[in-house]
Structure 1
Amino acid sequence: MKRFLKCLFAMMMVVGLSACSNSEQEQEAIKVVIDSYLGNCKSGDYESADAFLSKDAGSDLEFAAVYSELDSQLESMGLGEDFDREARSFVQDFVSKTFMEYKVDGIQVDGDKATANITLNGKDTDEFDLNEIQDLTLNEVTNYINDHTEELQSYAENHTEEELEAKMYKDLSKVVFDKMKEMVAQLPEAETNLVFGLTKEDGDWKITSIQEKQ
């Protein structure tokens, strides 16, 4: 009987350690998914970031779709390649500064479902003042025209109105968007607590939701 009990106890220990080991492996796999997702978002590789989303994830989490819409809007505006490039650069800078640092506080696994608590540190983009952007843009345009009046007049004499506008957009785009980046850099920092929802799809963990912790 003692031998039987010893064997039973040993078997229970093995099962317990195995379960613990599996749980740790799952948590590590989930952490890799979160690290990869946030890392790709920060670097601007949004298609790679979206690869870590579940097929049931909301469309609001699909960064690639958002940037595709941005490209469509820029194309329809027709303000030139320089403006488009600077606009994309600003948006990427804006997004990356929303999570300059993050920490995985805890992961809970329940079968094929899991939640992860994340503390995000970055610029408080809620403080980004669009009215201030309008004032900044108007001021930069006014300064540009005042500082380049003769140059613009000379250019206009030998070019079409469309070409003149294209030159102005090209000259102003970097100046204005660089100023906007400076404004983002000067925003106060904020801490945000997020809850990632995850599920297993075909053996891999995928992100289903990202919500601010209440």
Structure 2
Amino acid sequence: MGKRLLSCLLFFAMIITLSACSNQEEEQKAVQEVVQSYLTDCKNGDYKEADALLSEDADVSMNLTAFYEQLDDQLVNMDLGEDFDKEARKFVSAFMNKTFDQYKIDSTQIDNKEATALITLKGKDSEAFDVNSLQTELMNSVQTYMEENAESLEAYATEHTQEELEAKLYKDLSALVFGNMTKSLEDLPDTETNLKFTLKQEDGQWKINNIENTNEKH
């Protein structure tokens, strides 16, 4: 009787252990899916979807929606036309895409209702992108455009309104300037960054609470 009872207890213990392992694997998979979705959304510029994966008390600096709304406000205030706005947004999209070029989840660890995930991120070194250093080059390209197209612009001006001429200039120059900036972005050195994601459960769902660059020395 004693041996039979012991066998039953061992059997139930094994079931509980296997169940715990299964739940752990499911939770790890859920954590990985959240992190993967967040990185993919960042890469694709789907900022609202990315922000939806953040916890309620996540640092405001992680809020991408605020960044894009600020960009929209700046474009509205500048009022340089739809073509300029389009090229500006295209550049921001390229910037995010190149920064989040490749990523790999190295490990995940779960402790009750908190989890951590270690990520290796590969992409262009966005910190090396310096708009100020590009100003001279960009101004030179604009000057070259104006000189090389002086006659055609003058002819265009005689047949169109001042507003139409300005629209053409904004369209041509925005494509030129942001095109050069995109080229500079592509020429940036590649870099590898190690990130630590901290997640917590909110209403049964894993949410990202913090992202730390573990390459940085504190």
Which TM-score band (shorter chain)? over 0.9
Distance (Å, rounded) in 2 between the aligned partners of 1:39 and 1:99: 8
**Correspondence 1:13-92 to 2 at 5 A:** 13-92=14-93
Percent identical pairs in the alignment equals 51
TM-superposed CA distance for 1:150, in Å, is: 1.7
Q: Where does the alignment leave 5 or more consecutive residues of structure 1 unmatched?
A: none
Distance, in Å, in 1 between the alignment partners of 2:37 and 2:132 is: 35
Counterparts of residues 102-141 of structure 1 (less than 5 Å):
102-141=103-142
TM-score, normalised to structure 2's length? Answer: 0.93
User: Structure 2: which 5+ residue stretches go unaligned?
Assistant: none
Work out the CA distance in 2 between the residues paired with 1:201 and 1:131.
Answer: 42
**1: CA distance, partners of 2:125 / 2:95:** 11
- Cα distance in 2 for residues equivalent to 1:5 and 1:168: 86
Distance across 2 between alignment mates of 1:169 and 1:150: 17
2:174 is matched with which residue? Answer: 173
Q: Which residue pairs with 2:212 in the alignment?
A: 211
1:96 matches 2:104: no
Match of 2:122, SS state, is: strand
1:10 and 1:213 map into 2 onto residues whose CA distance is: 43
Residue identity matched to 2:113: D
One-letter amino acid of the structure 1 residue matched with residue 62 of structure 2: L
Structure 2 residue aligned with 1:6:
7
Q: Residue by residue, what CA displacement relative to the aligned partner does 1:140-185 show, whole Å, maximum 9, x if unpaired?
A: 1101110111222334445555543332111111121111111111
Map of 1:149-160 to 2, 5 A cutoff?
A: 149-157=150-158
Letter of the aligned partner of 2:104 in structure 1? K
Q: Distance in 1 between matches of 2:109 and 2:42?
A: 23
TM-score, normalising length from structure 1?
0.94
| Rounded Cα–Cα distance in structure 2 between residues aligned with 1:133 and 1:75 | 24
State the number of aligned residues. Answer: 214
User: 1:178 & 1:123 partners in 2: Cα distance?
Assistant: 17
| Residues in 1 aligned to 2:127 and 2:151: alpha-carbon distance in whole angstroms | 41
Give the RMSD, CA atoms, in angstroms. 1.5
Listed as ranges, the matches of 1:181-200 within 5 Å are 181-200=182-201
